Structure 1
Amino acid sequence: MAGRERREEHGEELYENTERSYRDGESTPTKCCEIHVDQTGFLKLMLAILAVLCITLGAFLVTLHLYRGPKVNETDEEDGDLKALVARLTTDVQLLKKENEGGKKVAFSASLVNAPGGLHVKHSDSPTLAYKRMFTNIGNAYDPIKGTFTAPVKGIYFFTFSTFGYTNNQSLGVSITVNGLRMVSSFEDKSSDLSDTGGNSIILQLEAGEQVTMTHWANSQVFDNTNGHNTFSGFLLFPL
C-alpha cells in the first residue's frame, strides 16, 4: 500500500508540473511519462526481433529456392545434354581420324613388260596377264607374278586398263574378271592395221579375299615394251 501511495503521489506531482508548464506558456511539457525497461526485458525484446528477422529470412530463402529451382534444374539438364553432344561428336571425330590414319590404303599400277625390247603375249602363253613392271603397289594387294589382285578388305574399288596390239593376224581382246567371271572388256578384231588400242574401267564392290585379274580372249595377242602400252591400275575408294 505504501508503494502504491508513493506512485500515486509521484503521478500527481508529474501532472501538476505538466499543468504548470502549460500555464506558464511552455510549448511542450517538460516530462509526461517515463519507461523503465530492465536488462532482462531488453534481452527479451532483442531476441524477439531476431526471431522475426530469422523467420523472414527463412521465408525469403524458401521463396527464392522455389522460384529459381526449376530454372537451375533446366540449366543443369541443358548443360548435361550439351556435354553429352560434345562427347559424342568428339568420339565420332576420333573414330574417323583413326579410320583415316589406320585404315587400309590400297593402290597399284603396273605395265605388262619389265624388260627392254618388245614382247608379244598370246592367249596360248597364258590366259592371265601378269603385269610385272610395278609403278605403285601400296598395300601389296597386287601380285605381279600371278597377275592377281586380292582385295584386302571389303570395299568399293576402281580398276582401269589400257591395251595395245601390234599384229594383223590376231585380234586384241582383254577383260577384267572377278573370281574368273568376266566384268568389262576391250576388243579389237584383226585387221590390216598393225596397231590397235583399247581400254576400259569399272567400279566394283568386293569382299575381302576376292580376286581381280586381267585375262586374254581366245586367239588374242597384246604387245608391250618399256613404253608401257598395256597397263592395269586400281585402288580402294573406301572400305565398307
Structure 2
Amino acid sequence: MDDHRRTCDMQRKLKGPHARKKKPQNPVHPGFFLVTPLILIAVATAWPNLSWPWDSAAAAQSTQATDTPEQNLLQQLTTMKQDMDELKTLLKKLVTRVDELDETAAAIVHIENVTRTVETQAATMQNLNTLVEKIDGVAKIAQVEVLTTRVDALEREKTEQVKKEEKTEQVTVLTTRVDALEREKTEQVKKEKEKTEQVTVLTTRVDALEREKTEQVKKEEKTEQVTVLTTRVDALEREKTEQVKKEKEKTEQVTVLTTRVDALEKEKTEQVKKEQVTGLTTRVTTLEAAASRVAFSAMIKDNNEFKSGEKVIFSEVWTNVGDDYDESTGIFKARIGGLYFFTVTIHTHGGDIELHVYKNEEQMTYMYNPTKGYHGSETNSLVMQLKIGDIVYVKADDYRVKSNTLQSMFSGFLIHRM
C-alpha cells in the first residue's frame, strides 16, 4: 500500500501545473546544455540520503524468512513484477514529461523577451525538479534489474535442485526395475534350459520317426515307380513301332521328292544356261555392232600452206566414231580389219594441187590440178581393204598447196568386217 501511494504521489507531481499539451519537437535549446551539469551535481550530492520504497519491502520480506523458501520466492516474484510494471509506466511518463519540458523550454526561450528572465529561471528550476525525479526512476530501474538477476539465479538453483531430486527418484526406480529384470532373466534361463533338454529329447524321437517314415515312403515309392516305369516302357515301345513306320514312309517320300527336285534343278540349270547364252549372245552382238562402227570426217581448220613431202592435217573433226582418226597427225589407223571407203577433197587458191593418198608407205592415188594461180579443187575417192593396224593419210608432193577453211576434207568409213 505504501508503495502504491508513493507511486501515485509521483504521478501527481509529474502532472503538475507546468504540464502542457504535446507540441511538435523543436531543436534543443542551448540552455539545456548549461542546466544538465547542475542537475547531475545535485543528484550526486542527494543520492546517499535518498530512501527508496523497495528498501522497506525487502525488509518486510526478510522478516518473513520463517516461511517456506518457495512461498517467499513466489511473493518476491509477484512484488517484483508489480514494481517492474509500475516503474515501466513511471519511466514512460517521465520520458514524455522530459520531452514536453524540453519543448516548453524551447518555446519559452523563443517567445519570451529578455525582460522576463525571472519567469524563465523559475521554469528551469521546475525542469530541474522533474529531472531529479527522472533520475530517481532510473535508480529504481537499476535496483529492479539487480533483483531480477537475483531472482533468475534463485530460479536456476531451484530447477537444478528439482532435477537432482528427479534424478535420484529415477535412479531408485531404475534399480528396482533392474533387480526385477535380473530375477526374470534368471527364471527365463532356467526355463530355457528345461526347454532345450525337452527339445533334444523330442528331436531324437522325431529323427527316429522320420527315418522310419522315409524308409517306408521309399518302399512305397519304389513300388509305384516300378508300375509307372512299366506303363511308360509299354507306351514307349508302342510309340517306337509307330515312329519306325512313319520314318519308313517319310524316307520313301523323301526319295521321291529328291528325285523330283533333282529333275527340276536340272531343268532349271538348263533354262538358266539357255537364258545366259542368249543374253551373252545379244550382248556380244551389240558390242560387236558398236565396235564395228567406224566412220570419220575432218576438215582443214585454218588457211594453211603445205610444202612438198608434208602430211596434210585435217584438224577440224566433225565425226570420229571409234576414234580411229588422229586429228593431231592426220593419220587414220584401222582398229578393225575390213573393207573401207575413203574420199579426199582439196580446195586451193594461188597454187597447183598435187597430192597423194598413202596406205602405210604405199601410194594409192594421185591428185593433180594445175590452177595457174587461180582457185581450184580436186576430189578423189577409193575403196581399200585394210588389216588391223594399217594406216591411211594424205601427203603433198612437188608443189605448195594453199587450202581454205571448211572447203578441204578427208572422210572414210567401214563398209563391212573381213
Higher relative contact order (CA 8 A, sep 6+): 1
Q: What residue identity is the alignment partner of 1:158? A: F
State the SS of the aligned residue for 1:233. Answer: strand
Give the superposition deviation at 1:185: 2.5
Contact in 2 for aligned 1:156/1:239 (Cα 8 Å): yes
Per the alignment, residue 163 of structure 1 pairs with: 346
Q: CA deviation at 1:171?
A: 1.6
User: Residue 307 of structure 2 aligns to which amino acid in structure 1?
Assistant: H
The structure-2 alpha-carbon separation of the partners of 1:199 and 1:209, relative to structure 1 and needing over 3 Å to count, comes to same
Residues 45-84 of structure 1 mapped to structure 2, 5 A cutoff: none
Question: After the TM superposition, which residues 81-120 of structure 1 pair with which residues of structure 2 at under 5 Å, given as runs?
Answer: 97-98=285-286, 101-113=289-301, 115=302, 119-120=303-304
Amino acid at match of 1:175: H
The answer for the alignment partner of 1:184 in structure 2 is: 365
Residues of 2 paired with 1:95 and 1:176: CA distance?
37
Aligned to 1:175: 356
Gaps of 5+ in 2: 1-277
Q: Distance in 1 between matches of 2:290 and 2:318?
A: 23
Say if 2:305 and 2:402, in contact at 8 Å, map to a contact too.
Answer: yes
Does residue 329 of structure 2 align to residue 146 of structure 1?
Answer: yes
TM-score normalised over the length of structure 1 = 0.53
Measure the CA separation in 2 of the matches of 1:165 and 1:216: 12
Q: Percent identity?
A: 24
The Cα offsets for residues 53-85 of structure 1, whole Å up to 9 and x where unpaired, read as xxxxxxxxxxxxxxxxxxxxxxxxxxxxxxxxx
Q: CA deviation at 1:150?
A: 0.1
Q: Equivalent residue for 1:235?
A: 413
- Contact 1:163–1:222 (CA under 8 A) maintained in structure 2: no
Secondary structure, counterpart of 1:105 in structure 2: coil
Match of residue 389 from structure 2: 209
Give the C-alpha shift of residue 222 in structure 1. 2.7
Q: Secondary structure at the match of 1:101?
A: helix
Q: Does the 8 A contact of 1:156 with 1:206 survive in 2?
A: yes
Q: 1:195 to 1:95 in 2, by over 3 A?
A: same
| Partners of 2:324 and 2:333 within 8 A in 1 | yes
Q: Give every structure 1 segment of 4 or more consecutive aligned residues whose post-TM-superposition deviation is greater than 4 Å.
A: 93-100
SS of aligned partner of 2:289: helix
| Residues in 1 aligned to 2:325 and 2:385: alpha-carbon distance in whole angstroms | 17
Q: Kindly provide the amino acid, as one letter, of the partner of residue 235 in structure 1.
A: F
Structure 2 counterpart of 1:221: 401
Q: Flag the structure with higher strand content.
A: 1
Q: 1:230 to 1:102 in 2, by over 3 A?
A: closer
Cα distance 1:98–1:137, how it changes in 2: closer, same or farther (>3 A)?
closer
Output one character per residue of 1:176-216: Cα deviation in whole Å (capped at 9) or x when no partner.
Answer: 11012111122112415x10111100000001000000111
Which letter does structure 2 place at the counterpart of 1:152? R
How is 1:30-49 mapped onto 2 (pairs within 5 angstroms)? none
Unaligned runs of 5+ in 1: 1-89
Aligned-pair distance for 1:122? 2.0
Structure with the bigger percentage of helix: 2
Question: What is the number of residues matched between the two proteins?
Answer: 140
* 8 A contact 1:162–1:200 mirrored in 2: yes
Distance of aligned partners of 1:219 and 1:102 in 2 relative to their CA distance in 1, 3 Å threshold: closer
After superposition, the Cα gap between the structure-2 partners of 1:94 and 1:229, relative to the gap in structure 1 and judged at 3 Å, is: same
Alignment check: 8 A CA contact 1:172 1:190 kept: yes
Q: Which residue of 1 aligns with 2:194?
A: none
Query: How far is 1:231 from its partner?
Result: 0.3
